[in-house]
């Protein structure tokens, strides 16, 4: 409010308070999608329509998708400690594989991604190749994709280029994967993308609405009845403080839960 700290610095501070760290891919710092415009030739940061709705999680960005997730929540019987537990989302907005897939063009994330994939790159069509198509998947099209972003989207142009010339494969339409496809307003320049994306994060609109997203990820809408109302509940295994692994005697169940968490991510500690 006093303009003494940037939105970026504030989010990094909150991530640190909530136990997120660059040293842990399973609890990597999480940043929001802030834009919804990946098709215009120029980016208008004075138009509210340019921005993502920060008061809603990624699963509720469209009315149709929101209703599908509410329907899923209502259909599942509440059963704690079961893979079919009552929740809106069975996938997470930040996990080791999401982080590694975003940063796959840079080491050490390349090796991490390949090891998580069983030793090789994923099918080309599933790799991170376009900012626009990733936004459309996470905000609208894919019911198992509610991912948010990593801090690198706001300061590191290098992760958008295939400077190491990794052979990432060829998509079904014949496109050879190389650099990440950028929105038209970036003019194919990763530095311009990062510059404008950072300006969007620090814009007046985001500054006025960022607290809504913080409530969802780090605050009071993270769990409980407020989370249900906000269409913001995840599988119980994602809530580390709810799972007391010491009390689980069955080693198979314990390893299943740990595997689930390491593959699908963890909710930040509530700040």
pLDDT digits (tens, 9 = 90+) for 146-171: 999 999 999 999 999 999 999 999 99
Q: Annotate 37-69 with three-state secondary structure.
A: CCCCCCCCCCCHHHECCCCCCHHHCCHHHHHHH
Torsion of CA 236, 27, 31, 168, to 10 degrees: -110
Q: Under CATH, which number does the domain 7-262 receive?
A: 1.10.1540.10
C-alpha 34: how far from chain center: 12
Say if residue 10's pLDDT is above 90.
yes
pLDDT in tens, 167-184: 999 999 888 999 999 999
What does the pLDDT average to over 4-16? 97
DSSP line for 91-105: S-SS-HHHHHHHTTT
Q: Give percent of the chain with pLDDT exceeding 90.
A: 75
Q: Which sequence spans correspond to the domains of the chain?
A: 7-262
For the entire predicted model, the pTM comes to: 0.92
């Amino acid at each position: 409010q006093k303009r003494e700290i940037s939105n970026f610095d504030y989010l990094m501070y909150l991530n640190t308070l909530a136990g997120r760290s660059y040293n842990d891919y399973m609890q990597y710092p999480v940043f929001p999608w802030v834009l919804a415009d990946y098709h215009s030739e120029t980016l208008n940061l004075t138009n509210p329509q340019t921005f993502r709705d920060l008061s809603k999680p990624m699963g509720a960005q469209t009315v149709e998708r929101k209703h599908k997730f509410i329907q899923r929540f209502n259909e599942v019987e509440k059963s704690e400690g079961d893979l079919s537990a009552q929740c809106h989302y069975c996938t997470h907005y930040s996990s080791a594989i999401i982080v590694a897939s975003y940063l796959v063009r840079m080491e050490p994330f390349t090796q991490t991604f390949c090891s998580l994939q069983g030793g090789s790159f994923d099918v080309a069509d599933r790799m991170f190749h376009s900012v626009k198509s990733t936004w459309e998947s996470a905000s609208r099209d894919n019911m198992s994709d509610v991912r948010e972003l990593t801090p690198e989207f706001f300061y590191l142009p290098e992760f958008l280029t295939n400077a190491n010339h990794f052979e990432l494969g060829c998509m079904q339409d014949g496109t050879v994967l190389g650099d990440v496809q950028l929105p038209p307003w970036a003019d194919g320049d990763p530095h311009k993308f990062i510059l404008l994306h950072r300006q969007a994060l620090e814009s007046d609109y985001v500054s006025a609405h960022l607290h809504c997203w913080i409530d969802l990820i780090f605050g009071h809408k993270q769990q409980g009845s407020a989370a249900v109302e906000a269409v913001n509940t995840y599988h119980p295994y994602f809530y580390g403080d709810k799972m007391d692994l010491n009390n689980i005697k069955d080693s198979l169940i314990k390893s299943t839960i740990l595997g689930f968490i390491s593959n699908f991510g963890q909710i930040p500690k509530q700040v």
